[in-house]
Structure 1
Amino acid sequence: MSQNKQNVFHAIPNNLQDEFFEVIAGNDEVKIERIVSKGHTSPDEGWYDQAQHEWVMVLQGAGELTFEDGRIVKLEPGEYINIPAHCKHKVSWTLPGEETVWLAVFYY
C-alpha cells in the first residue's frame, strides 16, 4: 500500500472522451473510486445494479442521478448520497464543459 501523498484533483486525463474510473484504495470489503465525468451519462439501455452499497459524493462540478422509480437527485460540490445495494440508478447528467469529480465508496 502506497504511503505517498496524492491529490484527487491531480492527474485527471486531458482526453475525457470516455468517463474516467480509478480505484484509489480498497480491499475485498471496501473499494474507493474516483470518477471523472465531463458531460458523460450512463448508457441509455442499462442501470447500475450493484451487489455493494454505494456512498457517492460530488467533489467538483455537478451531476444528476436518476433512480428506477423516477426520482432524480442533483448533487453539487460537497453533497453526497448513500445508495443501497441493488437500488437501480444511472447518471443522467453531468456538466458538459467542466469536469465533475466524484468520490464513490462501495461497501458491504
Structure 2
Amino acid sequence: MISRDIIPKANLKIRARSRNEIKKGNLYEKIPKKLSKELFNTIVLKNNCKIERIISMGHKTPKGKWYNQNKNEFVMILKGSAELLFFPDKKYPNDTKQEILHNDTKQEILHNDKTSKKTIWLAVFY
C-alpha cells in the first residue's frame, strides 16, 4: 500500500480569512513543468470530506503497489487521460470529463497515465 501522505505536496490551499470572504483559485495553475512523482494538493479538508487536485505526467503506480482507500472516492479527469485498475482486474480508461465513483472497499492503482502530458484530476474523498 502507498500512503498519499508521503508524496510531496504543493501549496494550493485557498483559505478565506472570514466567513464573508470569498477566495478563488485556478486548478490549472501552479503546475511544475516536470514531476518525478504524482503531485497531490489538498484544496479542502473539512470534517469527513477532502477535495484534492492530483497532477500526473506519464506516471504509473509502482508494480505490485496498491492504493488502499479508507474513504469513498469520486475522481474526475479535468484535463488529459489515464487508466485506473481496480483489484483484482477491472480496468477503467478515463478521459477528460469522465468520472469514477468507488467505495472504500476497493484497491486501486494508476495503471497508466497514457501520455507524458499533464493529467489533472479532481478527487473528492468522503
Which bracket does the TM-score occupy, shorter chain normalised?
Answer: over 0.9
State the Cα RMSD in Å. 1.1
Is 1:77 aligned to residue 68 of structure 2?
no
Q: Using structure 2 for the length normalisation, give the TM-score.
A: 0.80
Q: Using structure 1 for the length normalisation, give the TM-score.
A: 0.92
Is 1:46 aligned to residue 39 of structure 2?
no
Q: Displaced runs of 4+ in structure 1, greater than 4 A?
A: none
List alignment gaps of at least 5 residues for structure 1.
Answer: none
Could you say what secondary structure the match of 1:44 adopts?
coil
Identify the match of residue 121 of structure 2 among 80, 102, 105.
102
- In structure 2, C-alpha distance between the alignment counterparts of 1:97 and 1:52, rounded to whole Å: 29
Identify the match of residue 34 of structure 1 among 39, 48, 53.
53
Shift of 1:100: 0.3
Structure with greater Cα Rg: 2
Shift of 1:97: 2.4
- In the alignment of these two chains, the number of paired residues is 107
Q: Which amino acid aligns with 1:50?
A: Q
| Larger relative contact order, structure 1 or 2 (CA cutoff 8 Å, min sep 6) | 1
Identify the match of residue 12 of structure 1 among 20, 26, 31.
31
Instruction: State the Cα deviation string for residues 53-73 of structure 1 (Å, max 9, x = none).
Output: 010000100010011120100
Shift of 1:92: 0.3
Corresponding residue of 2:108? 89
List alignment gaps of at least 5 residues for structure 2.
Answer: 1-14, 17-21
